[in-house]
Structure 1
């Protein structure tokens, strides 16, 4: 469990798209995130998405996990749409 800032080495592949209150958001859900980070609140991380560097907040999903937003700009750069799989590597917890 990583409850304070520091290095991470968490890699997962998942499709873009998280259901939030009936809407499909262009995010990816981080597996076992509440257990990994010891909180249900937003935390800031450094990561790569399909090799592209990203610094972003992991937002609460509302059901105990966290999700990372995959912006329209990043999706365009990667050539990905909602429903396409991406590989995420969380490299550092910043908050």
Structure 2
């Protein structure tokens, strides 16, 4: 889809990008009460001396499946939305951001 959008709306500079909306992969931390007696779910926070960063739920979830980044050059957003919705799955949500 990114190639099609660049071919149609920005054929020379090809600045239109499609990126994932969720930037972080989450790791769930279990409490001792949630630990299973048959299979341990306990994990160390530091693996091979590299820190594991903790994020809030808002940072791990998004209302959108992908983000379409377009240059601020007067692209007709109605035509852009029509083109995106023609090629994307109906169950996906997206957002258009100007760069």
Coarse TM-score class (shorter-chain normalised): under 0.3
Q: Which has the higher contact order (CA 8 A, sep 6+)?
A: 1
Higher strand share: 1
Question: Which structure would you say has the larger Rg?
Answer: 2
TM (norm. structure 2) is: 0.24
The structure with the greater share of residues assigned to helix is 2
